[in-house]
């Protein structure tokens, strides 16, 4: 039986970063995945989704400019858009395998399961390790409702060969928001059934309310406080039943999509065999991302669930774990200033604290917020959704939080992330010269 210095379960972002660093230091490394190599972001998440959003952006741009010098009715050809996406995703697994081979990292295909505190089994082979990294990502939270087996996941949505006419999305987070913007612009009639009292609960409520104008314009039927209770198969599709504010309601659909949240994917690991303590479906980890019950095991990224479930966090965790394996437990993850974006068209973005978090921390701060469709950035694009909210600490002048909705929000938020992570002040941002006219050139007016 072969013993590695490090066995990584998963081949996504966290796995790639950690395995490359540990291997570069001369240690022996193996990675294991039961799906094609590359992980969620490249194959089933950020990247393929953003390829489809390029289609939605093109449609949106033409619609905004209609009557302003652009004519014609654009259309999405779904099969072509999916082929465009595949041109990016299809080569990923092979490239990843080649990269591992070039690095001298051994690749195992199959489901990994712990057989002891320092051992796993994969495809009938027992593998031992001095360290094991759980980088298994996240999976959709199982929906315990009748007919749940009829609901497709985001993975399947991103593979659809044709786009059904009537689509129901269950959930109201970023996946529901983004997929509804893609599908509606591709011609589908979309309904969103969201249990909470508003869409995008992790984003600022004022900015989300401005963005909802876009959902209305796209004729996306957003029903909040609607808890899905069952999916019924009908002669020509499905009927999705929900308990809503006005009592029981139902929506006819050709496709029902799970967008109701994700949780660490620990299901198949046999955590007990690995002596891995869990609490509320999460591995119990110390501040070094190490299991509190088995010091040979670390976790990173979505599987660890210590930071927000985002690709840059997985990458950061991968670096932290690699450093702790190589140097001993000296490194803790630092999740200050992690920007988060829902890639609706236009996008909504956020970094740092929101008002309730700042209040809960007892901070003294100034809020600046404005709905700004009259600013040049929005006007030149004929975009009616544009606005911001910033929180600046009194006394230090530090940026505590920034929230932007509208054109280029997804790029401009990165400058606020830089400010928060490196303690730049509002004055630093005001006195920086940004290229004009760009989204960033509005920052001086936002703080």
Question: Where along the sequence are the contacts to ligand FAD (CB under 6 A)?
Answer: 9-15, 32-35, 39-41, 44-46, 49, 111-112, 135-137, 154, 175, 265, 268-269, 301-303, 309-312, 314
- Report DSSP state, residue 265: -
In the complex, the smallest distance separating the C-beta of residue 114 from ligand FAD, rounded to whole angstroms, is: 9
Nearest CB to ligand FAD, comparing residues 155 and 428: 155
- The nearer residue to ligand FAD, 12 or 274, going by C-beta atoms, is 12
Q: Are strands 29-33 and 3-9 parallel, antiparallel or unpaired?
A: parallel
- According to DSSP, the residues that pair with 107 across neighbouring strands are 31
Provide the minimum distance between the beta carbon of 420 and ligand FAD in the complex, in angstroms, as a whole number: 17
CA distances from 98 to 2, 28, 87, 105 (A): 22, 17, 18, 10
Smallest distance from the beta carbon of 236 to ligand FAD, in angstroms? 28
Alpha carbon separation from 431 to 18, 43, 363, 408, 415 (Å, rounded): 38, 41, 25, 21, 14
Residue whose CB is less far from ligand FAD, 30 or 429? 30
**CA–CA gap between residue 200 and residue 181 (Å, rounded):** 13
Q: How far is the CB of 267 from ligand FAD (least distance, A)?
A: 8
Shortest gap between Cβ of 269 and ligand FAD (angstroms)?
Answer: 5
Q: State residue 319 phi and psi, 5-degree precision.
A: -65, -45
**Residue with smaller CB distance to ligand FAD, 311 or 350:** 311
Q: How far is the CB of 154 from ligand FAD (least distance, A)?
A: 4
CB burial string 392-420: b at 16+ within 10 A, e below: bbeeebbbbbbbbbbbbbbebbebbbbbb
User: CB-wise, 312 or 373, nearer to ligand FAD?
Assistant: 312
Using the minimum distance from each CB to ligand FAD, give the nearer residue, 289 or 426: 289
Cβ nearer to ligand FAD, comparing 32 with 222:
32
Place of tokens 């979505």: 302
Sorted by sequence, the CB contacts under 8 Å of residue 397 that are 6+ apart come out as 425, 426, 427
Q: What kind and span of H or E run contains 78? A: helix 78-89
CA distances from 232 to 43, 147, 177, 244 (A): 31, 6, 24, 17
Q: How far is the CB of 316 from ligand FAD (least distance, A)?
A: 11
Nearest Cα to Cα of residue 272 among 298, 295, 293: 293
């Amino acid at each position: 039986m072969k013993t590695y210095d490090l066995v990584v379960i998963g081949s996504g972002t966290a796995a790639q970063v950690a395995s490359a660093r540990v291997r570069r230091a001369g240690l022996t490394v193996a990675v294991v995945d039961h799906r094609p190599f590359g992980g969620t972001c490249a194959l089933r998440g950020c990247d393929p989704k953003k390829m489809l959003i390029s289609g939605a952006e093109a449609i949106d741009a033409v619609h905004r400019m209609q009557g302003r010098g652009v004519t014609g009715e654009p259309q999405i050809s779904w099969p072509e858009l999916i082929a465009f996406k595949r041109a990016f995703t299809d080569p990923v697994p092979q490239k990843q395998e080649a990269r591992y081979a070039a690095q001298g990292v051994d690749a195992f295909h199959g489901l990994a399961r712990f057989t002891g505190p320092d051992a796993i089994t994969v495809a009938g082979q027992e593998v031992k390790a001095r360290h094991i990294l759980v980088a298994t990502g996240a999976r959709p939270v199982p929906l315990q409702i009748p007919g749940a087996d009829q609901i497709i996941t985001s993975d399947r949505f991103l593979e659809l060969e044709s786009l059904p006419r009537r689509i129901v999305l269950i959930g109201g987070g970023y996946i529901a928001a983004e997929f509804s913007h893609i599908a509606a612009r591709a011609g589908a009639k979309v309904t969103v059934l969201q249990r909470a009292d508003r869409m995008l609960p992790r984003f600022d409520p004022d900015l989300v309310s401005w963005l909802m104008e876009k959902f209305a314009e796209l004729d996306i039927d957003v029903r909040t406080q609607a808890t899905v209770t069952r999916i019924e198969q009908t002669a020509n599709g499905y009927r999705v039943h929900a308990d809503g504010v006005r009592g029981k309601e139902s929506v006819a659909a050709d496709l029902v999509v799970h967008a109701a949240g994700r949780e660490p994917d620990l299901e198949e690991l046999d955590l007990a065999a690995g002596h891995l303590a869990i609490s509320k479906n999460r591995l119990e980890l110390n501040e070094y991302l190490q299991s509190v019950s088995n010091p040979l095991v670390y976790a990173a990224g979505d599987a660890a669930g210590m930071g927000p479930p985002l690709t840059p966090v997985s990458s950061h965790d991968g670096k932290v774990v690699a450093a702790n394996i190589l140097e001993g437990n000296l490194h803790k993850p630092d999740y200050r200033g992690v920007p988060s974006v829902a890639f609706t068209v236009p996008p909504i973005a956020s970094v740092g604290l929101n008002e309730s978090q700042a209040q809960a921390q007892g901070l003294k701060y100034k809020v600046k917020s404005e709905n700004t469709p009259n600013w040049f950035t929005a006007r030149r694009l004929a975009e009616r959704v544009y606005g911001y909210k910033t929180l600046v600490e009194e006394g230090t002048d530090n940026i505590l939080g920034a929230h932007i909705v509208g054109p280029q929000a997804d790029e401009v938020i990165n400058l606020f992330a830089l400010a928060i992570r490196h303690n730049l002040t509002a004055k630093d941002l005001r006195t920086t010269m940004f290229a004009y006219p760009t989204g960033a050139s509005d920052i001086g007016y936002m703080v």
